[in-house]
Amino acid sequence: MKACGLVVEYNPFHYGHQYHLKQAKEKTNADCVIAVMSGNFLQRGEPAIMDKYSRAKAAILGGVDLVIELPYVYAVQYSDYFAKGAIDILYHSGVNSICFGSESGNINSFSDAYLLKKQHHDQYEAHVKTYLNEGYAYPDAATKAYQSIFGISSILDMSKPNNILGLSYVQAIKDSQYPIKPITIKRIQNNYHDTAITGNIASATSIRKEVLKNPSASETAAETMPATTLDILKSYKYEAGCWHDWELYFPFLKYRVETMTLTELQQIEGIIEGLEHRIARTASEASSFQEWMTALKTKRYTWTRLQRIFVHILTNKKKEENMLANNIGYMRVLAMNKTGQAYLNQQKKQTELPFITKINQIQHPFLQTEERAAKAFYSVLPGSKHRKFFLQEIKSPIIIK
């Protein structure tokens, strides 16, 4: 069986994702589409609207064959590290190709950009350093370095978020010399950060805003996602009592920061250069997550970077944890259909790393982080619901026949 891999967040699965999925199948002739999906916390440093099991289920009902979890340690990271984790997992899952959406839509521009970056490695690194010294955050410094050397639209427009991610995927494949063919599809949807729903292909951000605004899930939102996703969203709200949102976590986050010592804060991933002092100082003045973020944001500490740090504080993710394991040690299946199951049975015999499902199936440092992240995610639910939702972590994966 031939497999094609996707790197996704599905927050939640909508028509844009379904379009991408069909395109990927057509272009690669794959028998099985595997989606590596972020868990409960997303790359932009946010809790997902609903938990990973619900999102994985919606993905399978929408046409994906197999959903594998992108571990927290990769999922809540800047693009290079995020991509490295996702591509490693897809490689060990045996995919022949990966397919990603991009503003460019032309795969050659990614290969060319990768080569160009490699050829001008020293110059590129020097520029990155300069921009870092000027106070830019790493991803911005990297983009600016790229642009100032190669021009904005010469080969690949690196001001576009999906082009940046795409180059990270291509780089991860080529750096590891994986026999995976990268394919890209031109994104036809809104800009990543657009918050207005304008067609039936909408951005994740706009759908989330729309749905959260209107608890009964408005007609507009309904036009942007399959009925299966909408049912799962409503069912989650019914069962859990909420859709997840940073403001829900604000009391916990604030409580955590206010009862940590500065030394403890300093050990949290992403906290460098004395940021612990600013976070501690601003904590007592903020009366909402939005207010706190606004007080903290600077050129160096972008919104996304700060949100990721807040996720790490919430989940107690420390810098030292990154040193406990350097590589993925397993592929964790969240959900699958018959095709996915057949693929898994075939693949199990020939992979170096185990496919697992339950969080306690093997011992691995990433799974300890995962457990804390899951518990932190469910902490906003009423006491009696925690356990029920957490128990999914030690149950069999979702199988849709």
By the criterion CB under 8 A, which residues form the site for its own copies?
A: 250-252, 254-256, 258-261, 264, 284-288, 314-316, 368, 372, 375-376, 379, 383-384, 386-387, 390
Distance of closest approach, residue 254 Cβ to its own copies, in angstroms: 7
The CA distance from 235 to 70, in Å, is 24
Lookup: tokens for 319: 């810098």
Q: Which residue has the tokens 């995020």?
A: 82
139 marked among binding-site residues: no
Distance of closest approach, residue 284 Cβ to its own copies, in angstroms: 6
Nearer to its own copies, 283 or 398 (CB): 283
Nearer to its own copies, 315 or 341 (CB): 315
Nearer to its own copies, 245 or 264 (CB): 264
| 55 CB-contact burial (10 Å; exposed 0-12 / middle 13-18 / buried 19+) | buried
Distance of closest approach, residue 247 Cβ to its own copies, in angstroms: 9
Distance of closest approach, residue 379 Cβ to its own copies, in angstroms: 4
The CA distance from 213 to 228, in Å, is 20
Nearer to its own copies, 180 or 283 (CB): 283
15 marked among binding-site residues: yes
300 marked among binding-site residues: no
Distance of closest approach, residue 289 Cβ to its own copies, in angstroms: 9
17 marked among binding-site residues: yes
8 marked among binding-site residues: yes
Q: Which backbone phi and psi does 233 adopt, to 5 degrees?
A: -60, -50
Element (H, E) at 5: strand 3-8
Nearest to 35 by CA among 9, 11, 14: 9
Distance of closest approach, residue 53 Cβ to its own copies, in angstroms: 17
What residue type is assigned to position 61 of the chain? L
18 marked among binding-site residues: yes
Terminal C-alpha separation, the chain:
19
Nearer to its own copies, 27 or 254 (CB): 254
Nearer to its own copies, 5 or 270 (CB): 270
345 marked among binding-site residues: no
The CA distance from 226 to 71, in Å, is 27
337 marked among binding-site residues: no
Distance of closest approach, residue 311 Cβ to its own copies, in angstroms: 12
Distance of closest approach, residue 36 Cβ to its own copies, in angstroms: 25
Nearer to its own copies, 120 or 386 (CB): 386
Helices (H), 241-359: 246-258, 262-266, 275-283, 289-296, 303-315, 338-348
Nearer to its own copies, 224 or 315 (CB): 315
Nearest to 270 by CA among 83, 127, 76: 76
Lookup: tokens for 318: 């420390």
277 marked among binding-site residues: no
| 274 CB-contact burial (10 Å; exposed 0-12 / middle 13-18 / buried 19+) | exposed
The four Cα atoms 254, 260, 264, 265 give a dihedral, to 10 degrees, of 30
Distance of CA 350 to the CA centre of its chain: 28
Kindly state the DSSP code that residue 41 receives in the 8-state scheme. Answer: B
127 marked among binding-site residues: no
Residues annotated within the binding site for ATP are 7-20, 101, 162, 187-188
Extract the annotated binding site.
7-20, 101, 162, 187-188
